[in-house]
Amino acid sequence: MNPPSLFDPLKIGPYELKHRVVMAPLTRMRASRPSLAPRPLNAEYYAQRATPGGLIIAEASPVVATGFGNPGVPGIYTETQIAGWREVVDAVHAKGGFIFLQIWHVGRVSHSSFQPSGALPVAPSAVAIAPEFRAMTADGKVVEYETPRALETGEVPLMVEAYRQAAKNALAAGFDGVEIHGANGYLVEQFLQSCSNVRADQYGGSIENRVRFLMEVTQAAIDVWGANRVGVRLSPYGIANGSGEADPMPLYSHAIKSLDRLGLAYLHFIEPRASGTGRADVDWKNVPSAMVLYRSMWSGVLISAGNFVGESAQSAIAEGHADAIAFGRYFISNPDLPRRLQRGYPLTPYNRATFYGGEEKGYTDYPGHDEMAEA
């Protein structure tokens, strides 16, 4: 029997994918303002990258108004935002694609200028991100991170309910599922890691307690969607946004084994070599591989992301380390990426200067391979 290929079918939850090239969730900061709802330009962008039987994981969307740390990011907590996302979903479905929404709260990776009434950002504990990392204010200034306000014990269930409502809103918008953003130093990972969680209640201290918020948020989404339409993204050994557990293996082994019992649609890793690529191009050397280390602990579909190209993606699939590969930056500059990879066409380089904010430039103006050939 031949080893599996990047272009073999794959079942994720109830969905039959025709290939295993997944579009990763990518913050692009192009929502309408002040509503922070997706707009027709966003629908065009996602439709360009949709393929029959292909999976898109839409960009991280805050579950509540306190969850922002960047301007122009779309939310999923108002009727206007739901309506905007419905146009995106309809455009992807019209191309025969599937689309999940990544639901998100940045926690301490924010600034008071983004917060309602100018309050401090909220987090598991009043622990600031180290000064070598820099925050962006709502008007684009670069400053040190503020010390966040620790959530009271009674507020944590309210935050779980915000994720539950976001999952309901995503269902109302017509998505095919949701992904919990538990990676890159944002709120869920802040609860997981001892560097950002020094709580003394049932959400802090032991590994079991620190994993509790992740499990409650995931269960809230399952209550809405069913387990087979919910995914979780984690970044073991990542260092983005001041994250990093001193010894990740015990923490993430417990988290992954706990999640495995739920029967989720998939688990989605960010490989450590790519930690922090949102801010700069990095390729960390001599770091572990999350998909290799934790594959044996996960019985379901495993998606991996982080600096993959066609050859390395195919190897990861063939060797059984992952079942699908998520591409980010090259999906920005190659709207027809699955076809290019399958046919060995060259990839268009991306332009980092146009990643965040703006209009069509660097967003919907990248041509497909056939358009380039005809030009």
Residues taking part in catalysis: 186
Angle CA 105–109–111, to nearest 5:
105
> How far apart (Å, rounded) are the C-alpha atoms in residues 73 and 53?
27
What span, in angstroms and rounded, lies between the C-alpha atoms of 287 and 282? Answer: 12
> What residues does 324 pair with on adjacent strands?
303
Query: Counting Cβ atoms within 10 Å, is residue 346 exposed (0-12), middle (13-18) or buried (19+)?
Result: exposed
Cβ count within 10 A of residue 319: 13
Tell me the three state secondary structure of residue 172.
helix
Best CA proximity match to 69, nearest among 29, 33, 110? 110
**Token pair of 23, please?**
């579009």
DSSP annotation of 152: P
**Strand, coil or helix: 2:** coil
Burial 147-158 (b: 16+ CB within 10 A, else e): ebbbbeeeebee
Nearest to 71 by CA among 34, 108, 40: 34
Structure tokens at 324: 């699908």
